[in-house]
Amino acid sequence: MYNGQIMRTFRFDKLVRDDIVAEMEREGCEVVWRVLSDAEYAVELMKKLEEELDELDDGAGKNRETDLKELADVAEIYETAWDIIDREENYDLLESAMDELDNGLDMWEIDPDELLEAKAAKINRFGAFKKRIYIEKVSIKEDNPLDQALPRKPRKIP
């Protein structure tokens, strides 16, 4: 309970963009988070890349704007991970990400500058993945709109 209001708690267990915790707290959520170690960060970046590739696969080809945002996420994570992860160990996933980026850009005839703009817009709005923020769980008041939205995204929110 929080000030007499019932709160629902969700396991989150994922790497998030740098400004997400502050945004969730502004929305009235209680967020339990931590900063990842180097080894954890490398693992979680690859999990995040897989998640974004799955999201891209789920909606690919249906909406240009949605695909562009997902492609921007893939590009951001790929770029962030490049100097951090073991590229040999993660070769298949990195190759898959590059293929998806190429396919998406070609399918929608997206200019690379447009992809960079979309990537920059997401960074400006939500931050990058540089601060290694890992959300463990989130508590939300029952009357918060996020209380209805989060359970509907089982792939994003375990």
Q: Read out DSSP for the chain?
A: -BTTB-EEEEEEEEE--TTHHHHHHHTT-EEEEEEPPHHHHHHHHHHHHHHHHHHHHHHTTT-HHHHHHHHHHHHHHHHHHHTTS-TTTTHHHHHHHHHHHHHHHHHHT--HHHHHHHHHHHHHHH--STT-EEEEEEEEETTSHHHHHGGG-TTT--
> 27 phi and psi, to 5 degrees?
-80, 0
- pLDDT of 19: 98
- pLDDT of 30: 95
- pLDDT of 60: 75
Letter for the amino acid at 147?
D
- Per-residue tens of pLDDT for the chain, all 158 residues: 456 677 889 999 999 999 999 999 999 999 999 999 999 999 999 999 999 999 988 877 889 999 999 999 999 999 999 999 999 999 999 999 999 999 999 999 999 999 999 999 999 999 999 999 999 999 998 887 766 666 555 555 54
Task: Let me know: does 150 contact 10? Beta carbons within 8 Å.
Answer: yes
Of the candidates 12, 17, 52, 13, which has an alpha carbon nearest to the alpha carbon of residue 130?
17
pTM of the predicted model as reported, rounded to 2 decimal places: 0.87
